[in-house]
Amino acid sequence: MKLLRRLKLWARKLKTEVYALYLAYKDPRVPWYARVFTAIVVGYAFSPIDLIPDPIPVLGYLGDIILVPLGIALAVRMIPPHVLTECREKARTLEDKPVNKIAAVVVVAIWVFLAGLAVFLTYRAL
């Protein structure tokens, strides 16, 4: 039971941190390279579609367990501390989580491209 409680707390903190990054990437005081990287991390985290679908054993949760926290850690290091502190405070008070539809479209486009490539290579091999 303690493990489950700790995991829920960690997930809640992670969600708040991603929303703080969402707010930070819009802030003009954040350097351009940090804004670009943060936009990618936030877009992936808020995307309703994963790059690697969850039903795929082991690899499906790789993005959720490793890639998102790693991306968050790197983005946090790029953002000025005073900006991040302000954004974290705002994130704690707001409850609505944005859904990034553009990221979902990009992920779907990647899957369609890969499926088309697989069909093309299969057709060419036969």
48 DSSP assignment: S
Provide φ and ψ at 31, rounded to 5°.
Answer: -60, 155
C-beta contacts of 5-14 below 8 A and 24+ residues apart = 14/68, 14/69, 14/72
pLDDT in tens, the chain (126 residues): 687 788 677 777 878 888 899 889 889 999 999 999 998 888 877 776 666 666 666 666 766 777 788 888 999 999 999 999 999 888 888 765 555 667 667 777 887 898 899 999 998 887
- What pLDDT was estimated at residue 99? 55
The 3-state DSSP class for residue 104 equals: helix
Give strand ranges (E) for the chain.
Answer: none
Distance in angstroms (rounded) separating the CA atoms of residues 55 and 74: 27
Q: Which two tokens stand for residue 94?
A: 């707001």
Distance in angstroms (rounded) separating the CA atoms of residues 44 and 46: 6
Provide φ and ψ at 15, rounded to 5°.
Answer: -65, -45
Provide the mean pLDDT of the chain: 81
- What pLDDT was estimated at residue 126? 79
Distance in angstroms (rounded) separating the CA atoms of residues 118 and 65: 28
